[in-house]
Amino acid sequence: MDAVTDRMSSRLWPAGLTRVPYWVYAEQDVLATEQRRIFEGPVWNYLCLEVDLPNVGDYRTTFIGSMPVVVVRADDGELCGFENRCAHRGALICLEDGGTAKDFQCVYHSWRYDLRGNLCSVAFRHGVNGKGGMSSDFDMAQHGPRKLRITTCCGLVFGTLSNDTPDFENWIGGEIAGRIRRVLGNKKIEIIGRFTQALPNNWKLYFENVRDTYHASLLHLFLTTFRITRLSQGGGVLVSDTGVGHASATLVPMQGPDTSYTSQSLRADNESFRLADPSILRMHDEFHDNIQLQILSVFPAFVLQQVQNALAVRQIVPRGVDQTDLNWTYLGFTDDTPELRMHRLKQCNLVGPAGYVSKEDGCVGGFVQRGIAAAADELSVVEMGGAAADTQDTRATEASVRGFWKAYRAHMGL
């Protein structure tokens, strides 16, 4: 246990998973420790999609927490990843979001790396006219960026810096892996849109929000009004034993009246609202299981969504104690009919920073960040549905949020 973790352990944090101190969202040394113990620790971090890298030399730059990395298809077709940091003076090796390269050369002093991140040449290594240069015993093999272990699942690319990280499916749990296959299966993915959303809050507040099935039909008026998801609909949450993985599901609604919201006079229900084009709510039955909404997450920073036929992956990137980037990639499949592809594109308007459903998620984390500014030693309450982080057949629960904290505390040594 390092000094910061030891200090965190000594501060107010009750046993169990139902109380979380607000200082954990607001302190720089906590964020630095998370980078070392979680993101650079024995976890699988989502990096990109295999379809980003179809050919030898194709690369994409991405992040593991705050660490910039490069993922590239090497000469033998293997996917490789390495820290995007020159071994010389620490500059970025690769400056573009993606592209194709024979090798990588740092712009600062022209140190050159092959497609596996190995240092292969140093500019003026032997000096000029017999003067200067590196010492004769300089060994290029001993200098280079940190390398990643890479794995894939259904076209998703994950990486880890740790040799101790278990195999991916064992790490997330078989049921969660099955829910990934449910959406992505063996189909060939096509990217139909991508962008980055800036969030004014700590990264953990967004990850909690993703797992918070309690809020979905209270905060999001659109979801409830048009019966995309209500807590009174069937469904539930899966939580892996370690808390690393979660998947929530909402079933196609039953026909007929539902008074569960109006009887409580909740804001998140307004039957007077109508859509000029209700076709956006139509669902093509491509999964054949009556699940019309599934949100899946893998600790610490990956989300897979299926909101009817709007499919996307989201990558959470910490940018500071109270700043987070959310990288969205909208997905289709190569065998989509033209009609289904147009419908996916239309339904992409449901979910995103300006989406009918989720625009509120872009600001509510900021409301929390602002609300806790003077409450470092106060505690949030995470007690809906009990005290355990277990699978439940209801979404009126915070079980999967508690699963996040179960995984978090295990990896932070708390």
What one-character-per-residue DSSP string does 247-314 give?
EEEEEPPPSS---TTGGGT-SS--TT---S-GGGG----SSSSSEEEEEEEETTTEEEEEETTEEEEE
Instruction: Work out the average pLDDT over 16-27.
Output: 96
Q: Which residue has the tokens 């280079």?
A: 144
Give yes or no for a contact between 380 and 393, defined as CB atoms under 8 angstroms apart: no
Q: How far is CA 151 from CA 17, 49, 159, in A?
A: 31, 11, 6
User: In sequence order, what are the residues at sequence separation of 6 or more whose Cβ sits closer than 8 angstroms to the Cβ of residue 356?
Assistant: 222, 349, 350
- pLDDT tens digits for 44-102? 999 999 999 999 999 999 999 999 999 999 999 999 999 999 999 999 999 999 999 99
Cα separation, 223 vs 379, in Å, equals 29
Measured CA angle at 199 (ends 193, 205), to 5 deg: 115
Positions of CATH 2.102.10.10 in the chain: 45-125+143-151
| Model pLDDT for residues 365-398, shown as the tens digit of each residue | 999 999 999 999 999 999 999 999 999 999 999 9
The pLDDT assigned to 200 comes to 97
Q: C-alpha distances in angstroms, 353 versus 282, 315, 359, 363?
A: 22, 14, 5, 9
Residue 11 has pLDDT above 90, yes or no: no
Q: For 409, which DSSP code? A: H
Mean pLDDT computed over every residue of the chain: 92
Burial class (CB in 10 A: 0-12, 13-18, 19+), 390: middle
CATH topology of domain 45-125+143-151: Rieske Iron-sulfur Protein (2.102.10)
| pLDDT above 80 (res 2) | no
Distance CA 402, CA 213 (A): 12
Q: Are the CB atoms for 389 and 400 separated by under 8 Å?
A: yes
Please give the Cα distance from 168 to 149 (Å, whole number): 11
> Could you count the other beta carbons within 10 Å of the beta carbon of residue 301?
26
Number of H helices, E strands in the chain: 10, 19
Angle at 89 between CA 87 and CA 90, to 5 degrees: 70
CATH superfamily assigned to domain 173-412: Naphthalene 1,2-dioxygenase Alpha Subunit; Chain A, domain 1 (3.90.380.10)
Residue 265 scores a pLDDT above 80 = no
Question: In this predicted model, what pLDDT tens digit does every residue of 212-263 receive, in sequence order?
Answer: 988 877 877 777 777 777 777 888 999 999 999 999 998 887 655 666 666 6
Rounded to the nearest 10 degrees, what angle do helices 203-211 and 361-371 cross at?
Answer: 120
Q: Which part of the chain has CATH 3.90.380.10?
A: 173-412
Strand partners, 294: 249, 306
Cα dihedral angle (17, 18, 21, 24), rounded to 10 degrees? 40
**Sign (positive or negative) of CA dihedral 293, 167, 409, 37:** negative
pLDDT at 268 > cutoff 80: no
